[in-house]
Structure 1
Amino acid sequence: MKWILSRKVRWILIAVMLLVFMFSSRMNAQTAVPSDFGAKGALQDQDISIEEALTYALQDEYLALARYEAVTKKYGNILPFSQIVQAEQQHIEAIKRLMEQYEIEIPVYNAKQYITTPVTLKEAFQTGVKGEIDNIAMYETFLKIEELPNDIAKVFSNLRDASKKHLIAFNFGLAQSS
Protein backbone atom coordinates (compact mmCIF):
# COMPACT_ATOMS: atom_id res chain seq x y z
CA MET A 1 0.00 0.00 0.00
CA LYS A 2 2.80 2.42 0.89
CA TRP A 3 4.50 1.77 -2.46
CA ILE A 4 1.24 2.46 -4.40
CA LEU A 5 0.71 5.76 -2.59
CA SER A 6 4.26 6.73 -3.32
CA ARG A 7 3.78 5.83 -6.98
CA LYS A 8 0.55 7.88 -7.11
CA VAL A 9 2.32 10.85 -5.58
CA ARG A 10 5.08 10.57 -8.18
CA TRP A 11 2.56 10.56 -11.04
CA ILE A 12 0.76 13.56 -9.59
CA LEU A 13 4.04 15.44 -9.25
CA ILE A 14 4.99 14.57 -12.82
CA ALA A 15 1.59 15.77 -14.07
CA VAL A 16 1.83 19.03 -12.13
CA MET A 17 5.38 19.67 -13.38
CA LEU A 18 4.27 19.00 -16.95
CA LEU A 19 1.38 21.44 -16.64
CA VAL A 20 3.63 24.11 -15.14
CA PHE A 21 6.14 23.62 -17.94
CA MET A 22 3.46 23.75 -20.65
CA PHE A 23 1.91 26.95 -19.36
CA SER A 24 5.02 28.70 -18.01
CA SER A 25 5.34 31.03 -20.99
CA ARG A 26 1.75 32.19 -20.46
CA MET A 27 1.79 32.52 -16.69
CA ASN A 28 3.70 35.79 -16.40
CA ALA A 29 0.83 38.14 -17.29
CA GLN A 30 -1.23 38.74 -14.18
CA THR A 31 -3.80 41.14 -15.62
CA ALA A 32 -4.97 42.55 -18.94
CA VAL A 33 -3.88 46.02 -19.96
CA PRO A 34 -6.38 48.46 -18.39
CA SER A 35 -8.53 50.42 -20.84
CA ASP A 36 -7.05 53.69 -19.55
CA PHE A 37 -3.38 52.68 -19.94
CA GLY A 38 -0.93 53.63 -22.70
CA ALA A 39 -2.03 53.76 -26.34
CA LYS A 40 -5.18 51.83 -25.51
CA GLY A 41 -6.28 54.57 -23.12
CA ALA A 42 -5.11 57.42 -25.32
CA LEU A 43 -7.00 56.15 -28.35
CA GLN A 44 -10.24 56.01 -26.33
CA ASP A 45 -9.82 59.37 -24.59
CA GLN A 46 -11.72 62.15 -26.37
CA ASP A 47 -10.19 65.11 -24.53
CA ILE A 48 -6.49 64.63 -23.80
CA SER A 49 -4.53 67.18 -21.80
CA ILE A 50 -0.78 67.57 -22.21
CA GLU A 51 -0.25 65.89 -18.83
CA GLU A 52 -2.41 62.94 -19.89
CA ALA A 53 -0.65 62.69 -23.25
CA LEU A 54 2.76 62.47 -21.59
CA THR A 55 1.44 59.93 -19.08
CA TYR A 56 -0.16 57.75 -21.77
CA ALA A 57 3.03 58.00 -23.85
CA LEU A 58 5.25 56.93 -20.96
CA GLN A 59 2.93 54.06 -20.07
CA ASP A 60 2.94 52.84 -23.67
CA GLU A 61 6.74 53.04 -23.91
CA TYR A 62 6.94 51.13 -20.60
CA LEU A 63 4.63 48.50 -22.10
CA ALA A 64 6.75 48.20 -25.25
CA LEU A 65 9.92 47.88 -23.19
CA ALA A 66 8.40 45.13 -21.02
CA ARG A 67 7.08 43.31 -24.09
CA TYR A 68 10.41 43.33 -25.94
CA GLU A 69 12.46 42.53 -22.82
CA ALA A 70 10.29 39.44 -22.32
CA VAL A 71 11.11 38.34 -25.88
CA THR A 72 14.86 38.82 -25.40
CA LYS A 73 14.72 37.02 -22.07
CA LYS A 74 13.09 34.00 -23.69
CA TYR A 75 14.89 33.97 -27.06
CA GLY A 76 18.15 35.79 -26.33
CA ASN A 77 19.48 38.96 -27.91
CA ILE A 78 17.84 38.49 -31.29
CA LEU A 79 17.30 41.27 -33.77
CA PRO A 80 15.39 43.50 -33.98
CA PHE A 81 14.15 43.03 -30.40
CA SER A 82 17.49 43.61 -28.68
CA GLN A 83 18.03 46.90 -30.55
CA ILE A 84 14.47 48.06 -30.01
CA VAL A 85 14.79 47.43 -26.26
CA GLN A 86 17.57 50.04 -26.25
CA ALA A 87 15.44 52.42 -28.31
CA GLU A 88 12.49 52.03 -25.92
CA GLN A 89 14.75 52.92 -22.99
CA GLN A 90 15.74 56.11 -24.82
CA HIS A 91 12.07 56.90 -25.55
CA ILE A 92 11.25 56.50 -21.87
CA GLU A 93 14.06 58.86 -20.87
CA ALA A 94 12.94 61.49 -23.41
CA ILE A 95 9.39 61.46 -22.04
CA LYS A 96 10.60 61.50 -18.43
CA ARG A 97 12.72 64.59 -19.15
CA LEU A 98 9.64 66.38 -20.50
CA MET A 99 7.58 65.32 -17.51
CA GLU A 100 10.24 66.66 -15.15
CA GLN A 101 10.46 69.89 -17.13
CA TYR A 102 6.68 70.38 -16.96
CA GLU A 103 6.55 69.18 -13.32
CA ILE A 104 4.30 66.22 -14.09
CA GLU A 105 4.37 63.19 -11.81
CA ILE A 106 6.20 60.26 -13.42
CA PRO A 107 4.18 57.04 -13.20
CA VAL A 108 5.80 53.95 -11.75
CA TYR A 109 7.11 51.29 -14.11
CA ASN A 110 4.46 48.58 -13.69
CA ALA A 111 3.95 47.40 -17.27
CA LYS A 112 5.44 43.93 -16.75
CA GLN A 113 2.22 42.84 -15.08
CA TYR A 114 0.37 43.47 -18.35
CA ILE A 115 2.50 41.47 -20.77
CA THR A 116 2.55 37.84 -21.75
CA THR A 117 5.69 36.24 -23.13
CA PRO A 118 4.96 35.06 -26.68
CA VAL A 119 5.07 31.31 -27.22
CA THR A 120 6.70 31.63 -30.65
CA LEU A 121 8.85 34.18 -32.43
CA LYS A 122 6.08 34.63 -34.99
CA GLU A 123 3.74 35.61 -32.16
CA ALA A 124 6.41 38.00 -30.83
CA PHE A 125 6.62 39.72 -34.22
CA GLN A 126 2.82 39.89 -34.48
CA THR A 127 2.62 41.47 -31.03
CA GLY A 128 5.35 43.93 -31.99
CA VAL A 129 3.48 44.91 -35.16
CA LYS A 130 0.24 45.50 -33.24
CA GLY A 131 2.01 47.45 -30.50
CA GLU A 132 3.79 49.74 -32.95
CA ILE A 133 0.60 50.38 -34.97
CA ASP A 134 -1.18 51.45 -31.77
CA ASN A 135 1.84 53.52 -30.71
CA ILE A 136 1.94 55.38 -34.04
CA ALA A 137 -1.82 56.08 -33.86
CA MET A 138 -1.39 57.36 -30.30
CA TYR A 139 1.32 59.84 -31.30
CA GLU A 140 -0.71 60.95 -34.33
CA THR A 141 -3.56 61.72 -31.91
CA PHE A 142 -1.27 63.66 -29.59
CA LEU A 143 0.15 65.75 -32.43
CA LYS A 144 -3.40 67.09 -33.02
CA ILE A 145 -3.66 68.52 -29.49
CA GLU A 146 -4.25 72.27 -29.69
CA GLU A 147 -1.53 74.43 -28.18
CA LEU A 148 0.88 71.49 -27.89
CA PRO A 149 4.25 72.98 -26.87
CA ASN A 150 6.90 72.73 -29.60
CA ASP A 151 9.32 70.68 -27.49
CA ILE A 152 6.66 68.08 -26.72
CA ALA A 153 5.49 68.04 -30.36
CA LYS A 154 9.08 67.44 -31.48
CA VAL A 155 9.53 64.50 -29.09
CA PHE A 156 6.16 63.00 -30.03
CA SER A 157 7.00 63.36 -33.72
CA ASN A 158 10.40 61.71 -33.23
CA LEU A 159 8.86 58.85 -31.24
CA ARG A 160 6.17 58.32 -33.87
CA ASP A 161 8.86 58.18 -36.58
CA ALA A 162 10.90 55.70 -34.53
CA SER A 163 7.80 53.52 -34.14
CA LYS A 164 7.35 53.55 -37.92
CA LYS A 165 10.88 52.14 -38.24
CA HIS A 166 10.17 49.53 -35.56
CA LEU A 167 7.02 48.57 -37.46
CA ILE A 168 9.05 47.99 -40.64
CA ALA A 169 11.51 45.80 -38.71
CA PHE A 170 8.75 43.75 -37.09
CA ASN A 171 6.90 43.30 -40.40
CA PHE A 172 10.13 42.09 -41.98
CA GLY A 173 10.69 39.65 -39.10
CA LEU A 174 7.10 38.46 -39.38
CA ALA A 175 7.51 37.81 -43.10
CA GLN A 176 10.70 35.85 -42.41
CA SER A 177 9.06 33.76 -39.68
CA SER A 178 6.07 32.73 -41.80
Structure 2
Amino acid sequence: MRVLILVLALFIISACSQGNGQVNQSNQTTPTVTPTPQIEKAKSTENECKICDFDFAGYKGDLKKEEIDGLLLALNDEYMAWATYDQINKDFNNPRPFSNIQQAEARHAERLKVVFKTYNLPVPENKWIGDVPKFQTVIEACKAGVEAEIANRDLYKRLFETTTREDILVVYRALQRASEENHLPAFQRCGEGRGGRSRPL
Protein backbone atom coordinates (compact mmCIF):
# COMPACT_ATOMS: atom_id res chain seq x y z
CA MET A 1 0.00 0.00 0.00
CA ARG A 2 2.82 2.36 0.88
CA VAL A 3 4.46 1.57 -2.41
CA LEU A 4 1.27 2.44 -4.30
CA ILE A 5 0.95 5.78 -2.48
CA LEU A 6 4.60 6.59 -3.22
CA VAL A 7 4.15 5.83 -6.90
CA LEU A 8 1.04 8.03 -7.09
CA ALA A 9 2.86 10.88 -5.37
CA LEU A 10 5.75 10.70 -7.81
CA PHE A 11 3.32 10.64 -10.74
CA ILE A 12 1.52 13.78 -9.49
CA ILE A 13 4.80 15.66 -8.92
CA SER A 14 6.00 14.73 -12.42
CA ALA A 15 2.75 15.91 -14.02
CA CYS A 16 2.90 19.24 -12.20
CA SER A 17 6.48 19.82 -13.28
CA GLN A 18 5.63 19.22 -16.94
CA GLY A 19 2.64 21.58 -16.73
CA ASN A 20 4.70 24.36 -15.24
CA GLY A 21 7.32 23.92 -17.94
CA GLN A 22 4.72 24.24 -20.66
CA VAL A 23 3.30 27.40 -19.07
CA ASN A 24 6.73 28.94 -18.80
CA GLN A 25 7.48 28.13 -22.42
CA SER A 26 4.19 29.62 -23.58
CA ASN A 27 4.88 32.84 -21.66
CA GLN A 28 8.30 33.29 -23.24
CA THR A 29 8.32 35.54 -26.30
CA THR A 30 11.00 35.70 -28.92
CA PRO A 31 12.36 39.24 -29.14
CA THR A 32 11.90 40.88 -32.52
CA VAL A 33 15.15 42.09 -34.01
CA THR A 34 14.68 45.24 -36.04
CA PRO A 35 17.40 45.65 -38.63
CA THR A 36 19.38 48.83 -38.22
CA PRO A 37 19.01 50.97 -41.33
CA GLN A 38 22.26 51.73 -43.08
CA ILE A 39 23.04 55.41 -43.22
CA GLU A 40 24.43 56.48 -46.56
CA LYS A 41 27.55 58.55 -46.23
CA ALA A 42 27.29 62.02 -47.60
CA LYS A 43 29.18 62.42 -50.81
CA SER A 44 31.97 64.94 -50.62
CA THR A 45 31.84 67.81 -53.07
CA GLU A 46 35.54 68.43 -52.67
CA ASN A 47 37.90 67.05 -55.24
CA GLU A 48 40.69 64.82 -54.03
CA CYS A 49 43.99 66.65 -53.79
CA LYS A 50 46.73 64.42 -55.13
CA ILE A 51 49.50 66.97 -54.59
CA CYS A 52 48.73 68.28 -51.10
CA ASP A 53 51.29 66.16 -49.24
CA PHE A 54 53.47 69.20 -48.64
CA ASP A 55 56.25 69.34 -46.04
CA PHE A 56 55.25 72.51 -44.20
CA ALA A 57 57.89 71.95 -41.53
CA GLY A 58 60.63 72.20 -44.11
CA TYR A 59 59.37 75.38 -45.79
CA LYS A 60 61.34 78.54 -44.95
CA GLY A 61 59.59 81.00 -47.25
CA ASP A 62 57.20 83.87 -46.62
CA LEU A 63 53.86 82.16 -47.23
CA LYS A 64 51.50 81.09 -44.48
CA LYS A 65 50.13 77.56 -44.35
CA GLU A 66 46.69 78.60 -45.65
CA GLU A 67 48.32 80.38 -48.60
CA ILE A 68 50.31 77.28 -49.51
CA ASP A 69 47.19 75.13 -49.12
CA GLY A 70 45.36 77.47 -51.48
CA LEU A 71 48.05 77.31 -54.15
CA LEU A 72 48.18 73.52 -53.92
CA LEU A 73 44.40 73.24 -54.26
CA ALA A 74 44.39 75.59 -57.24
CA LEU A 75 47.17 73.74 -59.06
CA ASN A 76 45.58 70.39 -58.22
CA ASP A 77 42.31 71.50 -59.81
CA GLU A 78 44.01 72.77 -62.95
CA TYR A 79 46.04 69.55 -63.16
CA MET A 80 42.89 67.46 -62.80
CA ALA A 81 41.09 69.45 -65.50
CA TRP A 82 44.03 69.15 -67.89
CA ALA A 83 44.34 65.38 -67.37
CA THR A 84 40.58 64.85 -67.73
CA TYR A 85 40.35 66.85 -70.95
CA ASP A 86 43.49 65.17 -72.26
CA GLN A 87 41.85 61.77 -71.79
CA ILE A 88 38.69 62.96 -73.55
CA ASN A 89 40.75 64.28 -76.46
CA LYS A 90 42.44 60.90 -76.79
CA ASP A 91 39.17 58.97 -76.55
CA PHE A 92 37.18 61.13 -79.00
CA ASN A 93 39.87 62.50 -81.33
CA ASN A 94 40.14 66.08 -80.03
CA PRO A 95 36.48 67.19 -79.99
CA ARG A 96 35.50 70.81 -79.49
CA PRO A 97 35.62 72.44 -77.02
CA PHE A 98 38.01 70.08 -75.21
CA SER A 99 40.93 70.56 -77.57
CA ASN A 100 41.01 74.31 -76.93
CA ILE A 101 40.20 74.19 -73.24
CA GLN A 102 42.93 71.67 -72.51
CA GLN A 103 45.46 74.12 -73.92
CA ALA A 104 44.00 76.83 -71.69
CA GLU A 105 44.30 74.59 -68.63
CA ALA A 106 47.98 74.07 -69.41
CA ARG A 107 48.49 77.84 -69.42
CA HIS A 108 46.58 78.16 -66.15
CA ALA A 109 48.87 75.62 -64.52
CA GLU A 110 51.91 77.51 -65.82
CA ARG A 111 50.67 80.76 -64.26
CA LEU A 112 50.34 79.03 -60.92
CA LYS A 113 53.79 77.46 -61.27
CA VAL A 114 55.26 80.96 -61.62
CA VAL A 115 53.77 81.82 -58.23
CA PHE A 116 55.19 78.62 -56.75
CA LYS A 117 58.66 79.55 -57.97
CA THR A 118 58.31 83.15 -56.79
CA TYR A 119 57.78 81.94 -53.24
CA ASN A 120 60.32 79.10 -53.39
CA LEU A 121 57.70 76.36 -53.34
CA PRO A 122 58.57 73.05 -55.02
CA VAL A 123 56.31 72.47 -58.03
CA PRO A 124 54.63 69.04 -57.78
CA GLU A 125 54.12 66.81 -60.79
CA ASN A 126 50.66 66.16 -62.21
CA LYS A 127 49.49 62.95 -60.52
CA TRP A 128 46.10 62.98 -62.27
CA ILE A 129 47.43 61.82 -65.64
CA GLY A 130 45.93 58.41 -66.45
CA ASP A 131 43.79 58.48 -63.30
CA VAL A 132 40.66 60.31 -64.43
CA PRO A 133 37.09 59.23 -65.35
CA LYS A 134 36.15 58.09 -68.85
CA PHE A 135 32.91 58.98 -70.63
CA GLN A 136 30.69 57.21 -73.13
CA THR A 137 29.93 60.24 -75.31
CA VAL A 138 31.19 63.76 -75.88
CA ILE A 139 27.91 65.20 -74.61
CA GLU A 140 28.28 63.22 -71.39
CA ALA A 141 31.82 64.54 -71.06
CA CYS A 142 30.59 68.10 -71.67
CA LYS A 143 28.03 67.79 -68.89
CA ALA A 144 30.80 66.65 -66.58
CA GLY A 145 32.82 69.62 -67.80
CA VAL A 146 30.02 71.95 -66.71
CA GLU A 147 30.16 70.53 -63.19
CA ALA A 148 33.96 70.72 -63.14
CA GLU A 149 34.07 74.36 -64.20
CA ILE A 150 31.41 75.33 -61.65
CA ALA A 151 33.45 73.59 -58.96
CA ASN A 152 36.57 75.40 -60.20
CA ARG A 153 34.82 78.76 -60.07
CA ASP A 154 33.60 78.11 -56.53
CA LEU A 155 37.04 76.91 -55.44
CA TYR A 156 38.59 80.24 -56.38
CA LYS A 157 35.87 82.07 -54.44
CA ARG A 158 37.12 80.25 -51.34
CA LEU A 159 40.77 80.79 -52.21
CA PHE A 160 40.27 84.56 -52.33
CA GLU A 161 39.97 84.37 -48.54
CA THR A 162 43.28 82.59 -48.03
CA THR A 163 45.62 85.45 -48.90
CA THR A 164 45.94 89.22 -49.16
CA ARG A 165 48.90 89.06 -51.55
CA GLU A 166 47.89 90.88 -54.70
CA ASP A 167 50.17 88.91 -57.02
CA ILE A 168 48.46 85.67 -55.97
CA LEU A 169 44.97 87.19 -56.08
CA VAL A 170 45.56 88.50 -59.61
CA VAL A 171 46.23 84.95 -60.79
CA TYR A 172 43.25 83.52 -58.89
CA ARG A 173 40.90 86.13 -60.37
CA ALA A 174 42.14 85.54 -63.91
CA LEU A 175 41.74 81.77 -63.66
CA GLN A 176 38.29 82.05 -62.12
CA ARG A 177 37.20 84.46 -64.86
CA ALA A 178 38.41 82.09 -67.57
CA SER A 179 36.50 79.23 -65.99
CA GLU A 180 33.26 81.13 -65.44
CA GLU A 181 33.11 83.33 -68.53
CA ASN A 182 34.73 81.13 -71.15
CA HIS A 183 34.98 77.43 -70.34
CA LEU A 184 31.65 77.05 -68.55
CA PRO A 185 29.51 78.52 -71.39
CA ALA A 186 31.35 76.37 -73.94
CA PHE A 187 30.61 73.19 -72.00
CA GLN A 188 27.00 74.25 -71.45
CA ARG A 189 26.49 74.64 -75.20
CA CYS A 190 28.15 71.31 -75.86
CA GLY A 191 26.13 69.56 -73.14
CA GLU A 192 22.94 70.82 -74.76
CA GLY A 193 24.03 69.44 -78.13
CA ARG A 194 24.68 72.88 -79.63
CA GLY A 195 28.38 72.35 -80.15
CA GLY A 196 31.18 73.82 -78.15
CA ARG A 197 33.48 76.68 -78.80
CA SER A 198 36.05 78.12 -76.47
CA ARG A 199 38.42 81.02 -76.74
CA PRO A 200 41.46 79.76 -74.82
CA LEU A 201 42.76 82.09 -72.14
Equivalences for residues 125-144 of structure 1 within 5 A: 125-144=142-161
Deviation at 1:53, TM superposition (A): 0.6
Per chain length, whose mean CA-contact separation is higher, i.e. which structure has more relative contact order (CA < 8 Å, sep 6+)? 1
**TM-score computed with the length of structure 2 as normaliser:** 0.63
Bigger share in helix: 1
Q: Which amino acid aligns with 1:115?
A: V
Could you list the per-position Cα deviations for residues 105-138 of structure 1 after superposition, in whole angstroms to 9, with x for gaps in the alignment?
2122111243112111121011111111110000
Structure 1 gaps of 5+ residues are 1-33, 39-47
Which residue number corresponds to residue 66 of structure 1?
A: 83
Which residue number corresponds to residue 114 of structure 2?
A: 97
* Structure 1 consecutive aligned stretches of length 4 or more whose deviation exceeds 3 Å: none
Aligned length: 136
Whole-angstrom CA distance in 2 between matches of 1:151 and 1:130: 28
RMSD of aligned Cα (Å): 2.1
Which residue number corresponds to residue 105 of structure 2?
A: 88
Whole-angstrom CA distance in 1 between matches of 2:48 and 2:134: 22
Whole-angstrom CA distance in 1 between matches of 2:104 and 2:144: 17
Equivalences for residues 28-177 of structure 1 within 5 A: 36-37=48-49, 49-145=66-162, 147-164=163-180, 165-176=182-193
Q: Contact 1:54–1:95 at 8 Å: present in 2 too?
A: yes
Q: Contact 1:80–1:169 at 8 Å: present in 2 too?
A: yes
Could you list the per-position Cα deviations for residues 3-41 of structure 1 after superposition, in whole angstroms to 9, with x for gaps in the alignment?
xxxxxxxxxxxxxxxxxxxxxxxxxxxxxxx96517xxx
Q: Contact 1:121–1:177 at 8 Å: present in 2 too?
A: no
Structure 2 gaps of 5+ residues are 1-45, 51-64, 196-201
**TM-score computed with the length of structure 1 as normaliser:** 0.71
Q: Which structure has the larger Rg over C-alpha atoms?
A: 2
Q: Contact 2:71–2:112 at 8 Å: present in 1 too?
A: yes
Whole-angstrom CA distance in 2 between matches of 1:127 and 1:56: 20
